[in-house]
Structure 1
Amino acid sequence: MKQLNWGIVSTGRIAEQFVSDMPLVNNGKVLAVAARKKSDAQAFADMHDIERAYGRYDDLFADKDIDVVYIATPHTLHFQHAHAAIMAGKHVLCEKPFTVSSEQCRQLTTLAKTRGVYIMEAMWTYFLPAIVKAKEWVEQGRIGNIKHVKADFGYPIPYDPNLREYDKKLAGGCLLEMGIYPIAIAAYFLNRDIDYWHVNGHIAPNGVEDDVIMLAELGDAKATLATSFQCKLNNFAYIIGDKGYIAIHDFWRANSCSLFVLDEEVEKFEDGRESFGFNYEAQTVGEDILSGKLESEVVTHARSLWLQTQMERVKGFIL
């Protein structure tokens, strides 16, 4: 099988987890990594046995041997780095949130199509076996018609305006950092537009949101969603139908899901993986690129635009 050469943009925690999972991907290997400092890139390369290390992102984009880049820089840099990669003719997997505005999202996807390269938002949750299994149960009618989706994602992060998560200049706030996951999981299972948002949020001293509760009306279904830097939330997703429900613990990184009818657990799925789970999206991206696709069928450009648009709607209620 042909292998794609990957370039990694950033040496942060998520990039390290992604690279740790790459040995499980049979259609790609990591050839190079870039950081703002050559010493950081070299240390990362030495740790993960990566052949090439660059102290400038543009040098990685200029490497003719790189087929696809994984971008894991701070939110506000996604557009700049994805744009540069596209212009260099590279395929792109860009961490969520894809961009920090719907207009940036439109520009990137349009540019990628124009330049004939693949680009996808790295919504890795959609590719996890437990999430795929839960969707299979829904499509089989195991829980009937979905009436509610409940999902939240929150961890306590003490307020510090200098932290990336709170930094206003880096698009800080819990909505883009964590809240995108509950919104994305509701979209994955309901796959319909939101008629109306009811939103309540709390603002940190520097003006970014640090706690948000969202109720979305989607026709005859409702989504109850939350995200927070103030406290640890339950971090479950519940997909609730008129015949049963599905419970997914730590849904954004899920390794299991359970099917219930009333109070009885009638089926449970566990993937038994030893990876973080990034290998599933990387494998699929490789398959897409090698088959000549310019867009994912799972995380479509339209889905990324929808997510950006909904987060802008939510922010409109609280900022």
Structure 2
Amino acid sequence: MRKLRIGIVGTGYVTDCHYKAFKQNRNAVISGMCHTYNLSHPKYREKQESLKKKCKGFDIKAYNDFNELVSDPSIDAIIISSTNSLHFEHIVAAINNGKHVLADMPVVTDIKQLAAIEKLSEEKGISIFPAHNFVYNEAMKKVKALIEDGRIGQIIHASFLSSHSISNNHLLGWNPNSELSKGEAMFDSGHHLIYQCLYLLGKPVKISSFKSKTILKSMDCEDTMQLSMQFVNGAMAVLMQSWSKDHSKMINGIRILGTYGSIVLTDALYFNDKKIMKMNDYMESFVRLSKAFSDNILKKVPPLSDLNAVHEILEITSNLYKTAEIESLRII
């Protein structure tokens, strides 16, 4: 059987992760890449030279632009790793050219766009696979099994916390621009927290939020955001994403408290304070994601976190930014 041939639009750090992951996939291969700049952009030549060097190192084809990549009949699927604001346009083009899609988060930036690509992909028989890589970690699957088997009883409270700095390339690129990114810390990196929370706990019935531009003053939006959720059974969760600092080794992770016990997923998986499984590294989550994507196309295996999850994420993010703008009760 011929391997799935995959092209990538985008040249950032995450595209390197995808490339390395698919190198370990027996059923698929990254065969080409393009950047997001079109031929008329003033930085096109500079970016194209950089792309050629990158692709030479990967031993893959450097396409002149996205149109050339997406229309190549030898390409079976496209990884969408472009600027957030371009995701919808690129996904629609991929579907219309018969290419399956692995879409980095956010898949698209609003619910109307999601409805449009769902309808179009169903009509064309194309898979749209969210790149929610963390749910494919073995430790995450074990957490879900512990919850579903009732091992910690009724969930009372959970926290999903992540703080890390971002590179100068992020700060000088499109990320700080709200028109291009459509949101900062929580809408971007915070997607990981939200889809993991949905995967483990389900959809909330109430949310509230706070945001702050505490350290990275040059950005349009927040560098830190906190989201509080309540679920139908009364359980609560807090999610916090920050781009401000790296001093977070003892803070980052998932912690879940239940009536029978607790789960902690940090450097390893702990059940009732006992280490029961090591935590795979970041790269391993992409390896497992790549296999899940090729299995979806070749064997029709459904994703663990699908477009329904994307719909719920977009509902939550749309409302959390609204609630963050509402003036809270002041106690001073």
TM-score (norm 2): 0.85
Work out the CA distance in 1 between the residues paired with 2:309 and 2:17.
25
- Corresponding residue of 1:142: 151
1:200 to 192, 197, 210: 210
Work out the CA distance in 1 between the residues paired with 2:283 and 2:207.
36
The reply on whether 1:41 has 2:56 as its aligned counterpart is no
Question: More displaced, 216-225 or 163-172?
Answer: 163-172
Per the TM alignment, residue 227 of structure 1 is displaced from its structure 2 partner at its CA by 1.3
SS in 1 for 2:146: helix
What per-residue deviation string (whole Å, max 9, x for no partner) do you get for residues 55-103 of structure 1? 2011111111111111111211111111111111100001001111122
What per-residue deviation string (whole Å, max 9, x for no partner) do you get for residues 3-48 of structure 1? 2111111111100111012121121111111123432332222111
2:190 to 175, 179, 203: 179
CA shift in 2, pair 1:226/1:271, >3 Å: closer
- Corresponding residue of 2:259: 242
Per the TM alignment, residue 313 of structure 1 is displaced from its structure 2 partner at its CA by 0.7
Work out the CA distance in 2 between the residues paired with 1:218 and 1:212.
20
SS in 2 for 1:226: strand
CA shift in 2, pair 1:272/1:75, >3 Å: closer
CA shift in 2, pair 1:161/1:137, >3 Å: closer
**What letter is aligned with 1:164?**
W
- Corresponding residue of 1:222: 236
Work out the CA distance in 2 between the residues paired with 1:289 and 1:14.
21
Per the TM alignment, residue 276 of structure 1 is displaced from its structure 2 partner at its CA by 4.2
- Is this contact kept in 2: 1:210–1:228, CA < 8 A? yes
CA shift in 2, pair 1:275/1:151, >3 Å: closer
Work out the CA distance in 2 between the residues paired with 1:59 and 1:74.
18
- Is this contact kept in 2: 1:66–1:90, CA < 8 A? yes
Unaligned stretches of 5+ residues in structure 2 = 38-46, 326-332
What per-residue deviation string (whole Å, max 9, x for no partner) do you get for residues 151-176 of structure 1? 11222349997443321221241111
Per the TM alignment, residue 137 of structure 1 is displaced from its structure 2 partner at its CA by 2.1
The reply on whether 1:317 has 2:330 as its aligned counterpart is no
Work out the CA distance in 2 between the residues paired with 1:268 and 1:165.
38
Per the TM alignment, residue 109 of structure 1 is displaced from its structure 2 partner at its CA by 1.7
- Is this contact kept in 2: 1:21–1:279, CA < 8 A? yes
Work out the CA distance in 2 between the residues paired with 1:208 and 1:274.
26
- Corresponding residue of 1:257: 269
Work out the CA distance in 1 between the residues paired with 2:253 and 2:283.
20
SS in 1 for 2:31: strand
Work out the CA distance in 1 between the residues paired with 2:26 and 2:112.
35
1:279 to 287, 291, 295: 287
- Corresponding residue of 1:95: 104
SS in 1 for 2:189: helix
SS in 2 for 1:26: coil
Unaligned stretches of 5+ residues in structure 1 = 251-255
Work out the CA distance in 1 between the residues paired with 2:287 and 2:78.
15
- Is this contact kept in 2: 1:173–1:208, CA < 8 A? yes
Per the TM alignment, residue 238 of structure 1 is displaced from its structure 2 partner at its CA by 0.9
- Corresponding residue of 1:303: 309
CA shift in 2, pair 1:179/1:275, >3 Å: closer
Work out the CA distance in 2 between the residues paired with 1:65 and 1:105.
27
RMSD between superposed Cα atoms in Å: 2.3
CA shift in 2, pair 1:3/1:58, >3 Å: same
SS in 1 for 2:187: helix
The reply on whether 1:23 has 2:36 as its aligned counterpart is no
**What letter is aligned with 1:236?**
G
Work out the CA distance in 1 between the residues paired with 2:138 and 2:15.
21
Aligned residues: 306
CA shift in 2, pair 1:18/1:58, >3 Å: same
- Corresponding residue of 1:67: 76
- Corresponding residue of 2:10: 10
The reply on whether 1:118 has 2:127 as its aligned counterpart is yes
Work out the CA distance in 2 between the residues paired with 1:136 and 1:188.
11
